[in-house]
Amino acid sequence: MTPLPPTTLLLAPMEGLLDFTLRDILTRVGGVDRCVSEFIRITDTLLPARVFTRLVPELLRGCKTAAGVPVRPQLLGSDPVCLAENAARLTELGPDGIDLNFGCPARVVNRHGGGAALLDEPELLFKIVSQVRRAVPAHLPVSAKMRLGLNDDTRAEECALAIEAGGASELVVHARTKADGYRPPAYWERVGDVRQVVRLPVVANGEIWTVADALACRAASGCSALMLGRGMVAHPGLALAILARDAETSGQVTLPSGVPVPEPVLTWAGLLPLIADFWQMVCADLPVGQQTGRLKQWLNLLRRCYPEAQLAFEAVRRFHHPADVQRWLVLQGLGLE
């Protein structure tokens, strides 16, 4: 087997799901090189520092998670001047770079010309990236995330070239169009097509749920860097499992010929304390009305990989008050009374 280069693994931004609480928990498990925050919406206002730190609280501790993993704040908008001014303000808070969102498929975002809607305007992509690049100190990277297109993928390469020409240092490509939403499949080979026309590093993203998916994505796209989203939320040990496979293929792990390396298993017993920590963070940082919903949301995704999560989800889904969740956690032996 030909050794593959080491995989760089990024944790995706996912509005309403992968926020600072889950970033904290998932990066504790290990294997993630960098996170991108959920988007900060930029309209016609120069945001004060407190807005940035509220949405990306890691800015208050060196822009890293508690586990020491860097978090790159992401901006979303369509006005090059406003984005540049806010990017400059944001750099005063010490991020390791600025990321730009050209991929959000949400209707409310697209209706106002942001996110994936910009993929029909490569010229505007260039203006946004170039003005942000000029506004940000030269030593800080400006990266971007895009989908393959709005309604089709015919302009994917054109958009990527515009982003590169604007001065971006890295490009994440979600391997679906806005019209595709999150429906499988992901078109990893089209990420490879984009990679062939640009010189900047390209990161492949979309529909990576397992180690096998990661290997297939790398083979189809040619990318040695991957961004993990829902797959990492459903399988918190996924990044470690991918790196273990890298170790096997590079000869760092010795196994009998033909025997696959076992994936590191984060057992349900090992995951429960992390769920409890997540719950405590949710209770400390989110309004009461949002707390139980966030736990249900995570347990719902965990059902893909953990049979025990099905039972937990069925128990928690009927709860509407945080005290009920707290009692349930005590019954799991977590001693949170």
Is 264 a residue whose pLDDT tops 60? no
Q: In this predicted structure, what is the pLDDT of residue 71?
A: 97
What is this structure's pTM?
A: 0.92
* Domain annotation covers residue 39: yes
Q: 14: which DSSP letter?
A: B
Residue 220 has which token pair? Answer: 């189809």
Say if 172 falls within a structural domain: yes
Residue 305 known to be catalytic: no
Distance, in Å, from the CA atom of 60 to the CA atom of 71, rounded to the nearest integer, reads 11
Closest to 75 measured CA to CA, from 152, 131, 120: 131
Task: Return the structure tokens found at 123.
Answer: 């010229």
> Using one digit for the tens of pLDDT, what is the confidence trace for 80-101?
999 999 999 999 999 999 999 9
Question: Structural domain of residue 221, as residue ranges?
Answer: 8-249
Of 249, 281, 300, which marks where a domain is finished? 249
What are the pLDDT digits (tens) for 156-207?
Answer: 999 999 999 999 999 999 999 999 999 999 999 999 999 999 999 999 999 9
Are 106 and 233 found together in one domain? yes
Whether residue 96 is found in the same domain as residue 193: yes
Q: Over the stretch 227-260, which tens digit does the pLDDT of each residue have?
A: 999 999 999 999 999 998 888 776 544 444 444 5
Together in a domain, 232 and 272: no
| Residue 238 domain flag | yes
Q: What is the CATH number of the domain that holds 300?
A: 1.20.225.30
**Residue 143 backbone dihedrals phi, psi, to 5 degrees:** -115, 170
Does the structure show a pLDDT above 80 at 113? no
The confidence band for 22, taking pLDDT boundaries of 50, 70 and 90, is: very high
Q: State residue 106's pLDDT score.
A: 81
Percent of the chain scored above 90 by pLDDT?
Answer: 80
Q: Same domain for 178 and 294?
A: no
Mean pLDDT score of the chain: 91
Question: Would you give the DSSP letter of residue 225?
Answer: E
DSSP state of 176: S
Predicted pLDDT of residue 256: 42
Examine the fold and report which residue of 195, 221, 249 is the final residue of a domain before the chain moves on. 249
Scan for tokens 């206002």, then name that residue.
Answer: 45
Question: Is residue 173 a contact partner of residue 160, using CB atoms and an 8 Å limit?
Answer: yes
**What's the one-letter identity of residue 164?**
E
pLDDT at residue number 6: 66
Q: Residue 27 and residue 162: Cα distance in Å, rounded?
A: 32
CA angle 324, 13, 190 (to 5 degrees): 135
- Are 219 and 99 members of one domain? yes
Reply yes or no on whether the pLDDT at 2 is more than 70.
no
Checking if the pLDDT of 307 tops 80, the result is yes
Final residue of a structural domain among 204, 219, 249: 249
For the chain, give the percent of residues with pLDDT over 70. Answer: 93
Query: Per-residue pLDDT for 7 more than 70?
Result: yes
What is the CA 48 to chain-centroid distance, rounded? 25
Query: Considering the domain boundaries, does residue 260 fall inside one?
Result: no
Residue with tokens 């033909």: 258
Kindly state whether residue 103 falls inside one of the protein's structural domains.
yes
pLDDT in tens, 114-143: 899 999 999 999 999 999 999 999 999 999
Say which of 35, 63, 104, 305 is annotated catalytic.
Answer: 104
* Total tally of structural domains belonging to the chain: 2
Claim to verify: residue 101 and residue 131 sit in the same structural domain: yes
Which residue carries 């993929």 as its tokens?
119
Rounded mean pLDDT, 51-75: 97
Report the C-alpha gap between 295 and 274 in whole angstroms. 12
Q: Output the six-digit token pair for 161.
A: 């070239």
